[in-house]
């Protein structure tokens, strides 16, 4: 069994000043495969000091220097893609043939290069000079469900902006972050610019959020945890950017291609075993088309292969750990007890699987908008199909949760679909299963968070705006 007992601080792998062991469990077998040393608040302070010391020099580097650094990271991540994907399979349970993690991370760094190449940090406005300058030391706290992409999405723009960072990945998926740190070291990221502190939320996450020498916290995780981060950060008046929970609706309009909507929704919602805050977990369909869509969706579920993530035939692996397995089971039970109709799936493991945190791909129909499974984020392969009678009702249902992260519309009519999409209160809205891309801003409305990541909006989250008044003549 492997032992990971170091943090990466100031360009070196160092033993934490305070630590406790944490066992990593393979979610497909329920057996331990490694231990990590979770650090403490003193280690956060040491990392922040290193990042603060490195900031003046790194923030003064040219665009060309930072672009060259980002390009080296892309090359080295690409060379180690298979190794990092294997780590994702081991600690998260993503099937080894479903390569959705590292490629997305590499795409984030490539987007940072494009964004930085095109971005002007100094502009002119009404006779004034307006500068955008790196905000400083950034505390990055990431979730376990996308253990490589989330790191890359945040850090790529941190480096592009000229900031420095202290990263705390989830304690459930730290191996990916350790390999990621090795890539950054080998790419020549200057000492102190990137620091990795392994730990849990109440200790290391809280220390990052409240540290007075951290200028910004970027957090991805649950809404509950996001509130705690914001509360801890408030006394130091630092900027807090959050991507939190979601309960995204897919509004299938009467003029939609039902087969396309069914195939896409099942594939997208069950991708990553449903552990995605953007997953379209509520399917809104006209009452006259409900049974037809349900039949098509049920047929699509038959194509899902749940099992050993090392098996090439597997398309859906386990959820991340026992706590998540039990959480999803509770929601399935709540759906049954509250009167929703179970179309497929249900409680317990799929047939033939006696161990591992595997969930049956589950679809409920006759779901009322106020039911628990229609309101709360489940974070597993569970879909709630909700009927509507008018499009106004569909929009009201889509907007009728505390969340506003993603939205989806299916329609054969572009203008019709666009009109409905414009009414959905969410940070990202997709038409007819359009693929995501790294240029479009990502973030949420309501309790799905604040701030934006990716592209130019993600870069500007990490910059301060400075007005220089009376300097125009000097600049000329």
Per the domain annotation, does 91 fall within a domain? yes
Q: State the CB neighbour count (10 A cutoff) for residue 434.
A: 12
Q: Rounded to an integer, what is the distance from CA 339 to the centroid of its chain?
A: 32
In this structure, the answer to whether residues 346 and 423 fall within a common structural domain is: yes
In this structure, the answer to whether residues 26 and 45 fall within a common structural domain is: yes
Q: How far apart are CA 331 and CA 335, in angstroms?
A: 6
CB 51 within 8 A of CB 20: no
Quote the domain boundaries for residue 302. Answer: 249-431
Expressed in percent and rounded to 5, the helix, strand and coil fractions of the chain are 40, 20, 35
Per the domain annotation, does 442 fall within a domain? no
Q: How far apart are CA 207 and CA 214, in angstroms?
A: 10
What pLDDT, on the 0 to 100 scale, is given for residue 401?
98
List strand residue ranges (DSSP E) for 169-311, in order: 194-196, 216-220, 239-243, 249-252, 282-286
- Note down pLDDT in tens along the chain; length 476 residues: 899 999 999 999 999 999 999 999 999 999 999 999 999 999 999 999 999 999 999 999 999 999 999 999 999 999 999 999 999 999 999 999 999 999 999 999 999 999 999 999 999 999 999 999 999 999 999 999 999 999 999 999 999 999 999 999 999 999 999 999 999 999 999 999 999 999 999 999 999 999 999 999 999 999 999 999 999 999 999 999 999 999 999 999 999 999 999 999 999 999 999 999 999 999 999 999 999 999 999 999 999 999 999 999 999 999 999 999 999 999 999 999 999 999 999 999 999 999 999 999 999 999 999 999 999 999 999 999 999 999 999 999 999 999 999 999 999 999 999 999 999 999 999 999 999 999 999 999 999 999 999 999 999 999 999 999 999 765 55
Residue 264 belongs to domain with CATH number: 3.40.309.10
CB 290 within 8 A of CB 259: no
In this structure, the answer to whether residues 102 and 131 fall within a common structural domain is: yes
Per the domain annotation, does 106 fall within a domain? yes
CB 448 within 8 A of CB 219: no
Residue 175 belongs to domain with CATH number: 3.40.605.10
CB 278 within 8 A of CB 438: no
In this structure, the answer to whether residues 347 and 199 fall within a common structural domain is: no
CB 444 within 8 A of CB 278: no
CB 271 within 8 A of CB 379: no
In this structure, the answer to whether residues 6 and 116 fall within a common structural domain is: yes
Per the domain annotation, does 397 fall within a domain? yes
Q: State the CB neighbour count (10 A cutoff) for residue 89.
A: 21
In this structure, the answer to whether residues 237 and 254 fall within a common structural domain is: no
Q: How far apart are CA 203 and CA 40, in angstroms?
A: 6
In this structure, the answer to whether residues 233 and 314 fall within a common structural domain is: no
For the stretch 93-113, pLDDT in tens is: 999 999 999 999 999 999 999
CA angle (80, 441, 270) in 5-degree steps: 65
* Mean pLDDT for the chain overall: 97
In this structure, the answer to whether residues 225 and 297 fall within a common structural domain is: no
Per the domain annotation, does 476 fall within a domain? no
First to last CA, the chain: 64
The four Cα atoms 391, 395, 396, 400 give a dihedral, to 10 degrees, of 150
In this structure, the answer to whether residues 271 and 237 fall within a common structural domain is: no
Per the domain annotation, does 475 fall within a domain? no
Q: Which residue shows structure tokens 């409305």?
A: 445
Q: Which two tokens stand for residue 105?
A: 């991370």
What pLDDT, on the 0 to 100 scale, is given for residue 473?
63
In this structure, the answer to whether residues 423 and 455 fall within a common structural domain is: no
Per the domain annotation, does 441 fall within a domain? no
Per the domain annotation, does 443 fall within a domain? no
In this structure, the answer to whether residues 318 and 389 fall within a common structural domain is: yes
Looking at 284-361, list the stretches that DSSP marks H as alpha helix, in order from N- to C-terminal side: 290-301, 322-337
What pLDDT, on the 0 to 100 scale, is given for residue 472?
77
341-344 and 362-365 beta bridge pairing: antiparallel
In this structure, the answer to whether residues 453 and 427 fall within a common structural domain is: no
Q: How far apart are CA 72 and CA 78, in angstroms?
A: 10
Which residues does the annotation mark as catalytic? 243, 277
CB 265 within 8 A of CB 251: no
Q: Rounded to an integer, what is the distance from CA 23 to the centroid of its chain?
A: 23
- Secondary structure (H, E, C), 145-172: CCCCHHHHHHHHHHHHHCCEEEEECCCC
Q: Which residue shows structure tokens 């628990």?
A: 372
Q: Which two tokens stand for residue 178?
A: 């350790």
In the chain, the number of structural domains is 2
């Amino acid at each position: 069994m492997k032992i990971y007992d170091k943090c990466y601080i100031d360009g070196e792998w160092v033993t934490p000043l305070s630590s406790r062991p944490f066992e990593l469990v393979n979610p497909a077998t329920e057996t331990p495969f490694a231990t990590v040393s979770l650090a403490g608040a003193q280690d956060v302070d040491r990392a922040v000091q290193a990042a603060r010391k490195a900031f003046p020099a790194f923030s003064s580097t040219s665009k060309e220097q930072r672009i060259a650094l980002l390009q080296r990271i892309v090359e080295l991540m690409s060379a180690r893609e298979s190794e990092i994907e294997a780590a994702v399979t081991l600690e998260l349970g993503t099937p080894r043939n479903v390569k959705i993690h590292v490629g997305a991370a590499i795409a984030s760094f490539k987007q940072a290069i494009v964004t930085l190449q095109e971005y002007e940090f100094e502009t002119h406005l009404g006779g004034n000079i307006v500068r955008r300058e790196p905000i400083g030391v950034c505390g990055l706290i990431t979730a376990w469900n996308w253990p490589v992409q989330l790191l890359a999405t945040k850090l790529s723009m941190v480096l592009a902006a000229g900031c420095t960072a202290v990263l705390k990945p989830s304690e459930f998926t730290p191996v990916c972050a350790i390999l990621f740190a090795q890539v950054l070291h080998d790419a020549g990221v200057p000492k102190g610019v990137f620091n990795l502190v392994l730990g849990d939320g109440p200790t290391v996450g809280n220390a990052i959020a409240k540290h007075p020498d951290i200028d910004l916290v970027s957090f991805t995780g649950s809404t509950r945890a996001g509130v705690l981060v914001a509360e801890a950060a408030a006394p130091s008046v630092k900027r807090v950017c959050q991507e939190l929970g979601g309960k995204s609706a897919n509004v299938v309009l009467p003029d939609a291609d039902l087969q396309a909507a069914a195939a896409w929704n099942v594939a997208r919602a069950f991708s990553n075993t449903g552990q995605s805050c953007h997953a379209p977990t509520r399917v809104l369909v006209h009452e006259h088309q409900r049974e037809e869509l349900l039949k098509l969706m049920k047929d699509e579920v038959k194509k899902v292969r749940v099992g050993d993530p090392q098996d090439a035939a597997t398309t859906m692996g386990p959820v991340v750990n026992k706590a998540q397995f039990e959480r999803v089971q509770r929601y399935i039970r709540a759906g049954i007890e509250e009167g929703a109709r179970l179309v497929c799936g249900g409680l317990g493991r799929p047939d033939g699987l006696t161990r591992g945190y595997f969930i049956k791909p589950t679809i409920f129909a006759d779901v009322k908008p106020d039911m628990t499974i229609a309101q709360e984020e489940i974070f597993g392969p569970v879909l709630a199909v909700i009927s509507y009678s008018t499009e106004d009702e569909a929009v009201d249902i889509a907007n009728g949760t505390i969340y506003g992260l993603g939205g989806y519309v299916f329609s054969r009519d572009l203008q019709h679909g666009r009109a409905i999409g414009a009414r959905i209160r969410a940070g990202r809205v997709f038409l007819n299963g359009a693929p995501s891309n790294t240029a479009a801003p990502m973030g949420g409305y309501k309790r799905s968070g604040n701030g934006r990541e990716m592209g130019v909006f993600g870069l500007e989250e990490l910059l301060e705006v400075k007005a220089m008044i009376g300097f125009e003549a000097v600049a000329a």
